[in-house]
Homo-oligomer: A and B are copies of this chain.
Amino acid sequence: MARKLIENHNECPITHSMNIIGNKWTSIIVYVLAGRTLRFGELAIRIDKISRKVLSNQLKEMELRGIVHRESYAETPPRVEYSLTKKGEELLPILNQLCAWSKDIDLDMNP
């Protein structure tokens, strides 16, 4: 279930960072969750091509890391709401800089 981590015996800080956000979906989930609360199903719709299984796994991992907050309501049908924690919100300005940085890189001339 859990993703495999890069070994990091010499505690390289960037390797540590990559072990947290260096995968396909984590940053995208943070970005989509920016400033709002969304239910599981809404997240699944907004994030193109993600499967419910993978979304579920990622959210679980992010909750464990303290990036995402999960609030479950005992209703029928069930309702579960996801939002960013303070830590998650702190990632946003960094991601915005990343977006700005990558703006002028072209992927069309592909390998």
User: Which residues of A come within 8 Å of B, CB atoms?
Assistant: 1-3, 5-10, 12-24, 27-28, 31, 48-49, 60-61, 64-66, 87, 90-91, 94-95, 97-99, 101-103, 105, 107, 109-111
Contact = CB atoms under 8 A, between A and B. Distances in A.
A4 to B, nearest CB: 10
A8 B105 CA distance: 14
Contacts of A21: 98, 102
Q: How many copies altogether? A: 2
A68 to B, nearest CB: 12
A4 B107 CA distance: 11
A87 to B, nearest CB: 7
B48 A5 contact: no
Contact of A105 (B24, B87, B111): B87
Nearest to A29: B14
A13 to B, nearest CB: 4
A102 to B, nearest CB: 4
B94 A48 contact: no
A63 to B, nearest CB: 10
A3 to B, nearest CB: 8
